[in-house]
Amino acid sequence: MATTQTANGKAAGRTSSGLLADIRSRIRAGKFAPGEYLPTVRELERAHEISRKTVNAVLKNLEAEGLVAAEPRRGYRVLARAADPDQGCPLAYVADLRESPEQWRPFHQELLSAFQGAAARRSWTLLGVGSQGRDHETVMHQLTAARTCGLIIDSVDEEIMGAIRSAGLPAVAVDAWEHNLPIDVVAQDSYQGGVVAAAHLAAKGHQRIAWFGPTAWSTHSRARLAGTLAGLLEHGRGIDTGLIVSAPRDDSARQARELLSRADRPTGIVSLYLENAAQLVRTARELGLRLGRDLDLVGWCTEEQYTRDWLPLFGGEPPAPCAVWSPRLMAELAVDRLEARRKNPHLAPVRISVPVELRTK
């Protein structure tokens, strides 16, 4: 290869291919992790004793390959595409739960299993990472040390979300999310779940319909209640404010008994959280009320929970209707969106809803 001498005597061109191969291999090996900045042009110029023009050419080549991106006045940041799931770099499911997935509740273990399955169907791997009680620096160190190539976030922790954005890692929010987060979201269609629950009770002729469950605890609770109210309004019905029961977890048994013991108790109840609905089933049985005769109820759960947790509540008798959604479909949609965002980081954030169906038998 021909060389030329610059004014300061450095060889321009002779080592450009070597520098390009060196930086590329270090990125591929995780020595420069996604979100990190490469050494500055001046540092590379001095360390490799080549001209600034040659360094800039190498960096432009890396940018053209999609491994780095130039950021004004900051340098070149390593992109998430540099960590390739086809080369063993894992996705990660990050939830606001205990550090070890073995300590997670069955619902979140079900979600983790669904995401692992979606990754495995693409011959990729996926880590489960709990962030509860851990500072965001520790969590991010775990993610970067594992050479994580994309994140599925089940958390609304602002520090974690901010750290992820700063690292430039592609991410999709699932299950837990808020409207003000500038991130892709794949979530169960809570609003539509409320609509179909209300329509079912209205079709059965119920006039005194209650809501039993969280009302403002999360985006899901607000959307489910809003869908219920809209669905009832569509059928010429409503809910008296006295029949909207927030039912906090530590007081749901007392509130269920109080609601079902009223002289003017409701004949239909929308309870779109599994624990709250299960409590109503148990309390109705204790009070001698028969579901389907004295009271109609609509619950909420995942496909797996329907078989594992919902049906056994009824001891072989016909179960109450339940709004059911699929974590497996959520996982497929989320990983699809994450793959698209890895290829094009500048995609506008979208919200994708996982359909909810009313299962009546």
The pLDDT tens digits for 136-148 are: 889 988 888 888 8
| pLDDT level of residue 191 (50, 70, 90 thresholds) | very high
Segments of the chain assigned E as strands? 4-5, 11-12, 68-71, 75-78, 91-95, 126-130, 150-154, 171-174, 184-188, 209-212, 244-245, 268-270, 296-302, 322-325, 351-354, 357-359
The SS3 of residue 40 is: coil
| pLDDT level of residue 80 (50, 70, 90 thresholds) | low
4-82 CATH choice from 3.40.50.1820, 1.10.150.130, 1.10.10.10, 2.60.40.10:
1.10.10.10
Q: In which residue ranges of the chain is CATH 3.40.50.2300 found?
A: 85-188+329-354, 190-325
- State residue 15's pLDDT score: 67
Q: In which residue ranges of the chain is CATH 1.10.10.10 found?
A: 4-82
Number of Cβ within 10 Å of residue 161's Cβ equals 21
- State residue 169's pLDDT score: 82
The pLDDT tens digits for 279-338 are: 999 999 999 999 999 999 999 999 999 999 999 999 988 999 999 999 999 999 999 999
| pLDDT level of residue 20 (50, 70, 90 thresholds) | confident
The pLDDT tens digits for 194-215 are: 999 999 999 999 999 999 999 9
Which residues touch 102 (CB under 8 Å, ≥6 apart)? none
Which residues touch 65 (CB under 8 Å, ≥6 apart)? 24
Q: What share of the chain in percent tops pLDDT 70? A: 94
**Helix (H), strand (E) at residue 155:** none
Question: Does residue 67 contact residue 83 with C-beta atoms inside 8 Å?
Answer: no
CATH 3.30.565.10 fits 85-188+329-354, yes or no: no
Say whether pLDDT at 52 is over 60.
Answer: yes
**Average pLDDT, integer, range 28-55:** 83
| pLDDT level of residue 217 (50, 70, 90 thresholds) | confident
Whole-number Å distance between alpha carbons of 324 and 330: 13
226 or 34, which is more confident?
226
- CATH superfamily ID and name for 190-325: Response regulator (3.40.50.2300)
Question: Does residue 294 contact residue 261 with C-beta atoms inside 8 Å?
Answer: no
The pLDDT tens digits for 244-273 are: 999 888 899 999 999 999 999 999 999 999
